[in-house]
Amino acid sequence: METTLIILKPDAVQRGLMGRIISRFEDKGIQVVGAKFMQISSELAATHYASHKGKPFYDGLVGFMTSSPVLVLALRGVGSIAICRKMMGATFGSNADPGTIRGDFGVSNSFNLIHGSDSPEAAAHELKLFFGEGEVLDWDRAGEGWIYDLSGGDPE
């Protein structure tokens, strides 16, 4: 099982899309193991987006991410990083395929609704930035055996 960080950005929150987006992940079989509605500070945004510092869009990105509350999620499942990123769609809504979150809800190249970790290393780093000890939970879903084939011992 893999755990990834997802951020429903200010535009998703302001447009009232949180429930619809979470439902997509849950419908797919991805488990919510952590959730936090929060206002990101300038310091946290700068740390989270440190790899973009110095790029022309950096200041606007930090300003955008601190402009309104966000919903931060820890999502878990087999291959959850790749699955969630595929569900998110291309970075720019104008280029995202229909059926993806960005393709169905976005058209802007600036406001792209959602962030998702792009690797296991990034997920581990980002989860620690947004969740403290005990805020990402391990819990058993009653329907787990109907999401994954567990007959071989490992979920697949």
Report, as residue numbers or ranges, the catalytic residues. Answer: 115
Q: Please name which of 6, 46, 43 lies closest in space to residue 22, comparing C-alpha atoms.
A: 6
Pairing relationship of beta strands 114-116 and 2-8 according to DSSP bridges = antiparallel
* Nearest C-alpha neighbor of 114 from the set 126, 101, 130, 103: 101
Helix, coil or strand: residue 5: strand
